Amino acid sequence: MTPPKQPTEADLVILNEAQGAELAVRDLYDAALLVGGFSDVQTSVLISFRNHHTAYAQALNGVLGKSAVNMRSETVYSAYRDQVRASTTALKTLQSLENVLVATHTAIVGLLVGLDAANLMASILIVEARLAAVYGTAPELDLASALDDSAVSLVVASSVEG
Amino acid sequence: MSSQLSRRDLFRLGGIGIISTTLLAACSKNNGTSDNAIASIGTIPPNTSLPTAEVTDVVLLRTAASLEYAAIDLYSTLLDAGYLSGDFAAVAAIARRFRDDHAAHAASSNSLVLKLGGQAFECANSRFTSLAITPAIALISTPENPDVALDAVTLAHAIETVCAQMQQGFVGLYSDPVLRGAAINVGQNNARHAVILAQMLNPGLSGVEPSTEPATGVSKVFAVPSAFGGLAIVRVPLGPPNAEGVKTSITMETPSLNALTYEFVSC
């Protein structure tokens, strides 16, 4: 049977979770940038990465349509807010966030029935993996972390089944 | 005696000709062909029908494995030939790690093939190798090439990019969501490889986003080409530069219908 292109009702639930996570990460980049302490080139790259997450949330809006909640995940935001505000842990935390998004979206791709949304999520997470790896190549962090994709997904089976 | 034919004679002769031809055709030997067969000289070879080439989940998984094997073979070639040296000597250790990762990716794809009742494919994609890797290696190994190590890393970066793109592209082709998740999980790992190699070629945060060489205007290799993962053709400049300083460009793209590892394809 050919998979449907449009997201199913169950797909919409998990896509809203993905959008909430993207909006939370965008706000966490803002929180880190507000504190500052980065070089000009670092700031430029961080703003660019932040804008990527805005683009992802907007793209998910397009797939979700009227079902879009368009609210950041407070769970994600509050869990990482203090760490991104500390200059010593900001970059490492932002890398962890990218890795969490990669793990989450990978799990979501494995659950989505609608092909359009699956394609979109794939095109998002493959770049988020790149963003995570970029942090690993920075002198402040170690190269091995660029390949560390062992983060745990935010999506749990119960939320999908519900 | 008059040699002129009258109009009536012409009609008569024409009629006799038509009747004779019809009689001869009716009496001729059939040679076992059907009544509808077109007469021909010689023996017609029987038609050989092509095997059924259906794009199934198994075919996609086998193709994914075949491209991972192409990457394994490429790293082995670069390491065995000693191309990763000089300024890029540090890449040799990275290449060994990446080769191991690709072996794990291929094994993962093949284990899914076996689960689906298919036959594992454990060698490189021959079409991709012949169209991209073989000519690329030939360019790199040209004696006049002044940038052997640079080109070797550039080629490795390109194959990582193509491997990541392939897995992303296959997400939209698999019928089973579980296979889509497995594919993109491998793809994101390949994308990380591409970033590390991009940073070797164009280091620092200035090498993260698209930029060009100030002198030539040629696009540099960068870590994050765009906000969303693309599936565009990858052009790889390799080999000795010409008088204008431009290298030969090899084109790489993700396997399409004519490069898939169908179930009738064997190593």
Instruction: Report DSSP state, residue A28.
Output: H
- Beta carbons within 10 angstroms of residue B10's beta carbon: 10
Q: Report the percent of chain B where pLDDT is more than 90.
A: 70
Amino acid at B236: V
pLDDT for B1 beyond 70: no
* B248 beta partners: B238
Query: In terms of CA atoms, which chain B residue is nearest residue A110?
Result: B181
Of B61, B258, B204, B172, nearest to A2 (Cα)? B172
Terminal CA-to-CA distance of chain B, rounded, Å? 84
Coil, helix or strand at residue B237: strand
B contacts of A42 (beta carbons < 8 Å): 205
A contacts of B181 (beta carbons < 8 Å): 106-107, 109-111
Q: Report the percent of chain A where pLDDT is more than 70.
A: 95
The H or E element containing residue A161 is: helix A157-161
Q: pTM (2 decimals)?
A: 0.86
Confidence of residue B45 (pLDDT cuts 50, 70, 90): confident
CA atoms B81, B218, B162, A94: torsion sign: positive
Note whether B228 contacts A59, CB cutoff 8 Å. Answer: yes
A contacts of B226 (beta carbons < 8 Å): 127
Of B78, B249, B234, B254, nearest to B156 (Cα)? B78
pLDDT, tens only, B215-243: 777 788 899 999 999 999 999 999 999 98
Kindly state the tokens that stand for A87: 């200059």
CB A149 within 8 A of CB A129: yes
Burial B96-110 (b: 16+ CB within 10 A, else e): eebbebbeebbebbb
CA distance B202 to B218: 13
pLDDT, tens only, A3-15: 889 999 999 999 9
Q: Which of A111, A122, A130 is closest, CB to CB, to B184?
A: A122
